[in-house]
Amino acid sequence: EAKRQGRGRAVAYQPGMLEVVTERHRLEDDLREAIETQAFHLAYQPVVDLKTGEPLGYEALIRWTHPVRGAVSPVAFVPLAEENGQIVAIGRWVLMEACRAAAAWPNGRHVAVNVSPVQLRSPLFLSHVTAALAESGLAPCRLEVELTETAMVESGTQIADALGALRILGIRIAMDDFGTGYSSLAHLRDFPLDRIKIDRSFVAAAETDRHSMAVLRAVTQIGRDIGIPTLAEGVETPSQWELLKALGCDAGQGYLFGRPERLDTAAAATAPLAAAG
């Protein structure tokens, strides 16, 4: 429907371009309203100890139910929200919501929150983090911030300062999607990290592609040598679990252990894992 209107208006002049622009503005308006109308929720995916399959914590993943379009993937709207700065307000909501949920979980379990480089650069970011911790009562060590390498590439002092401040607060820092983007081993040396999350593309290909296998082996080895736990993303099969265990990878995440799901706090506290191993 929205698409048809956009096309109708655009016929007279460069249809494709105008369609994209109106589409974008519409999404921006809808995003602006989404926090107020409670159109976002968080789905939580277990992060498990690969030795036992027991949950160590959960990653919070944002979900948007658009009034007309239905579910819109974060892959579609997070980049837009980063470009226009809306990610700062959205991220503030995510932090608050995730910390509130995690405060009710058993004590050892952490919540991992994805943070965009745009948020990290915002002068408001640290106050959003401290407010979420203070209002939820969550111990800082139970909050883990996930950053992609892109954030680290754009290093600069703002990012370094923000990371240092998180560190001082006792918040953990994970490098997300390691091995993709602007990978550089220097990031492992230059940034204080608490976890390396190896991108799921390596896990998916490991059994058929020896290059992917070599990367998995090397990264888990480096993690061991420098004392940073490794986590494999996208574990979908028991044989991938076995393989990663054999490589000495510490933690895993993936459909085998649990899909991202809306969790009420009671469920999070007791949720048994379906996977056997």
Binding site for ligand C2E (CB under 6 A): 45, 61-62, 73-75, 78, 87, 91, 94, 114, 116, 146, 176-177, 200, 234, 236, 253-255, 260
CA distances, 37 to each of 22, 25, 30, 65 (Å)? 22, 18, 10, 10
What's the closest the beta carbon of residue 98 comes to ligand C2E, in angstroms? Answer: 8
- Out of ligand C2E, Mg ion, none, what residue 132 binds, judged by CB under 5 to 8 A for its kind, is none
Phi, then psi, of 109 in degrees rounded to 5: -80, 135
> Measured from the CB atom, is 114 or 220 closer to Mg ion?
114
| Whole-angstrom distance, CA of residue 206 vs CA of residue 25 | 41
- Beta strand 70-72 with 55-66 is antiparallel
At its nearest, how many Å lie between Mg ion and the CB of residue 185?
18
Supply the minimum distance, in Å, between the C-beta of residue 13 and Mg ion.
Answer: 39
Nearer to ligand C2E, 6 or 46 (CB): 46
The rounded distance, in Å, linking the Cα atoms of 115 and 257 is 24
Does residue 144 belong to the site contacting Mg ion (CB under 5 A)?
no
User: Collapsing DSSP states into helix, strand and coil, what is residue 184?
Assistant: coil
Distance of closest approach, residue 243 Cβ to ligand C2E, in angstroms: 14
Where are any strands of DSSP class E within the chain?
A: 40-49, 55-66, 70-72, 110-114, 143-148, 172-178, 195-198, 230-232, 251-252
Site string for Mg ion, 217-256 (x = CB under 5 A): ----------------------------------------
CA dist 209 and 226 (Å) reads: 26
CB of 233 to Mg ion, least distance (A): 5
Q: What is the distance in angstroms between the CA of the first residue and the CA of the last residue of the chain? A: 48
| Residue 234 touches which member of ligand C2E, Mg ion, none, C-beta under 5-8 Å by kind | ligand C2E
Q: Which residues bind Mg ion (CB under 5 A)?
A: 114, 146, 176-177
